[in-house]
Copies of this chain bind each other. A is one copy, B any other.
Amino acid sequence: MKNDCSYIGCKQDFIDAKEKVTGKAKYLDDMNFPGMLYAKILRSPHPHARILSIDVSKAEGLSGVKAVITAKDCPTNKFGMEIDDVTMLAIDKVRYVGDEIAAVAADSEEAAEEAIKLIDVKYELLDVVDDVEKAMLPESALVHENIKSNIVKEYHISRGNVDEDFSKCDYVFESEFSTHRVSGCYMEPFGAVVKWEENGRLTIWTGLQSVFQGRNEIAKALGIEPSKVTVKSPYIGGAFGAKIWIRNFHPIVAVLAKKADAPVKYVLTREEEMLTTRPRVAPKIKIKLGMMKDGTLVCKESKIIADNGAYSWAAPKVLLNMSIRTDCLYRFKSTKTDSYLVYTNLIPTSGFRGYGNSQMHFALESFIDTCARRIGLDPVDVKIKNAIRQGDCTLHGWKVRSCGLAECLEKAREYIEEDRLPKEGQNGRIRRGIGVACMNHVSGNRGGDKFDGSSAMIRIHEDGKVFVFSGESDMGQGAKTVFAQIAAEVLGVSISDITVMPLDTDVSPFGLGTYSSRVTTVGGKAVYLAAEKVKKQIMEFASKILGKSEDKLYIKNGNIVFTEDESVNITLKKLCQEGIRTREAIPFTVYETYDPPTEGADANFYGDYSSAYTYGAHGVEVEVDTLTGQVKVLRVIAAHDVGKVINKNGVEGQINGGVAQGIGWTLYENMVFQDGKPLSNSLKNYILMTIKDMPEIKSVIVETNDPIGPFGAKGIGEPTLIPTAPAIANAIEDAIGVRIKDLPITSEKVFWAIKEKEEGDRQ
């Protein structure tokens, strides 16, 4: 039992660590019901084709098959996130390789798999739209005929007068960058177990990041009332944004379960994950930067064309983030962005850790580095000079209540320089370099005038044990542990006395879910306030029972003590028994809703919409093999302004994971397509980083004590991945003098860039 020491800022083991490491924790695929069936989905092998006919008769005749469905068996409601362009199963047309056509429930996975193969679909192949710029041309084939254009969304956002400002700059630079599709590759494939209850309600177990959002989307797809759907979340083995929203399979499995009149399980294979997991939005970014001789960053203009894929999920929001956030990293005088999101016949993209901010940071943080070098300034000096500071209001209206950006840049540079390896290899085959890049991000992101808060319920049982209910998911990042720490700290009890309850939309208080790095800040604050509220009830009742005034009482180790005489005390357990079993009837159950004191953005996307803005900088040292072009990351310094550490283990875990995923994105991972067909459909042909590739990572935690977050904390989920790619690109330029502007930075690209530079040098 923890004693005097505070739970805030300590290295707290995750409260569910034991179940997880002993293999006892129940993930979705561990769930089974008597009579449960297994589902499989027939997916399109073509990127773009008209469906001429579907014959399911052979599949239906197969032994063990209990239900076969096509679009004819499903509600035709279109659904989606901002744009409803999705149907549960394909009607008339398929739009990407992996698009859902039919589904089977059978009493074994094998029978379901076999039945899928027996479904006979006749197609008429259509022109494949797989290039965003061509897709924007009027003569392009249309992915969605009813929409009459492949442009899903466009933004035109300007602040100040960039044209005037560019005309006054000492330097104006322009360049183009691009980033690519990568897959979430979380350990646990997505899936659902679905059961229709005897009272007509639908229960669905699935590892969604946002259970309430999911409940509403499933209900919408099925055409039923949201409160008829219960979403329950088992343990989740990673998500990274790809499990925020439902997939088609959620309502598909519900329709199968209804038709088969039995519970149905569906878990994606890794191949299906590769084919259908919402990957990172892939943009082409033109960027123009206006600077003064002294390094002042004056203005910035961007044009972004991003590939949405075949259906629209979070990509419009991702594009919006790309169009705004990096403008708030520095004290620009003016900015202007024109951005376009385009349908193609590729896998639908969506939000992935960083949510657009990572892509745009790659462009800007690479480009400033290049520009600074070109005018003979130290890139990091330029960044520090221009960095947003506490008290600033950015061009887009962000009110910066706490900011460790400059400090993170300084620390990243200091530590990456301090231990850098000898440069002696510099003129041989192997060359070394260091690079630094910084980032900003949000902790929650209010959409318009919408709620951006969270709710928490705390219940204290008769034995003094505390149950915490939140509507926010723990997808493995440790949210439950953070909530338990906050409740333990506020209530003055041992963390072992706290149980954080599993998610269940019937019971869990309303929350928006785990995205925008909002859970600690917003969900944690709701828990904090609920704990404060129940503590007040506890202290009031203890005051009555002990006959001492409240301000003379404190709780420590689950014991309420009179300050002036420690022998006058009562344990929380005893008090709860008194409270629940006596006439006082204190419920010791509280419900608290918190919505941060921020504004939603206005129609022009201006506003202070996040409760806390986060900052960080990575310093990277790389080694480049000039013969092969292979890049190896040797060391990473990851300095992050987290406001205040709640769980040091959690923060370091996020940093380690974010850096690893950032390096993977930069150097290794890539979803490759040929004529719209995915070539990367397994972990054999999609390269994930392994432990052998991992560099040494030094976490540098900067605490700025945010005035809003609980105990001063800010989000750290996404930030840790954002500056890695540009820091690596900057280090490569430092090492070999070439600039790679399109991700991933493969050996081939580096090799040819070196060759090109050598050609140039020779000329």
Contacts and interface: CB of A to CB of B under 8 A. Distances in A.
B225 A509 contact: no
A585 interface: yes
9 contacts: A212-B462, A227-B462, A227-B465, A449-B583, A451-B580, A451-B583, A455-B589, A467-B506, A583-B600
10 shortest interchain CB distances as A-B pairs: A24-B198, A227-B465, A227-B461, A585-B595, A32-B34, A587-B593, A19-B198, A226-B463, A225-B463, A589-B591
A313 B506 CA distance: 36
Contacts of A212: 462
Nearest to A26: B198
A91 interface: no
Contacts of A198: 19, 24-26
Interface residues of A, number: 50
Interface in A552-594: 580-583, 585-587, 589-594
The dominant DSSP class at the A interface is: loop
A590 B499 CA distance: 21
A146 interface: no
Contacts of A501: 506-507
A450 interface: yes
A348 interface: no
Nearest to A20: B198
A507 B232 CA distance: 14
B453 A585 contact: yes
Nearest to A504: B507
B590 A591 contact: yes
Contacts of A461: 226-227
A494 interface: no
A756 B467 CA distance: 68
A178 interface: no
Interface string A195-233: 000110100000000001000100100000111000000
Contacts of A32: 34
A33 interface: yes
A355 interface: no
A586 B26 CA distance: 34
B199 A16 contact: yes
Given A26-B198, A451-B583, A463 B591 contact: no
Task: Choose among A18, A32, A581 the residue with the greatest number of B CB atoms under 10 Å from its CB.
Answer: A581
Interface string A368-385: 000000000000000000
A446 B304 CA distance: 72
A595 B580 contact: no
B591 A587 contact: yes
A587 B533 CA distance: 15
A711 interface: no
A664 to B, nearest CB: 31
A510 interface: yes
Given A226-B463, A453-B585, A455-B589, 18 more contacts: A16-B199, A18-B199, A19-B199, A24-B199, A26-B198, A33-B34, A227-B462, A227-B465, A450-B582, A451-B580, A451-B585, A467-B506, A507-B507, A509-B589, A510-B580, A585-B594, A585-B595, A587-B593
B462 A216 contact: yes
Interface string A478-504: 000000000000000000000101000
Interface string A448-470: 01110101010001110101000
A600 B583 CA distance: 9
A463 to B, nearest CB: 5
Interface of A: 16, 18-19, 24-26, 32-34, 198-199, 201, 212, 216, 219, 225-227, 449-451, 453, 455, 457, 461-463, 465, 467, 499, 501, 506-507, 509-510, 580-583, 585-587, 589-595, 600
A450 B587 CA distance: 14
Contacts of A462: 212, 216, 226-227, 510
A225 B580 contact: no
A586 B510 CA distance: 10
A461 B32 CA distance: 29
Contacts of A216: 462
A201 B18 CA distance: 13
A582 B19 CA distance: 38
Contacts of A499: 201, 227
A128 to B, nearest CB: 39
Contacts of A24: 198-199
Nearest to A460: B227
Given A198-B24, A451-B581, A465 B225 contact: yes
Contacts of A19: 198-199
Contacts of A33: 34
Contacts of A589: 455, 457, 509-510, 591
A444 to B, nearest CB: 13
Given A198-B25, A227-B461, A587 B16 contact: no
A31 B19 CA distance: 25
A193 to B, nearest CB: 12
A585 B34 CA distance: 41
A587 B463 CA distance: 28
A227 B226 CA distance: 31
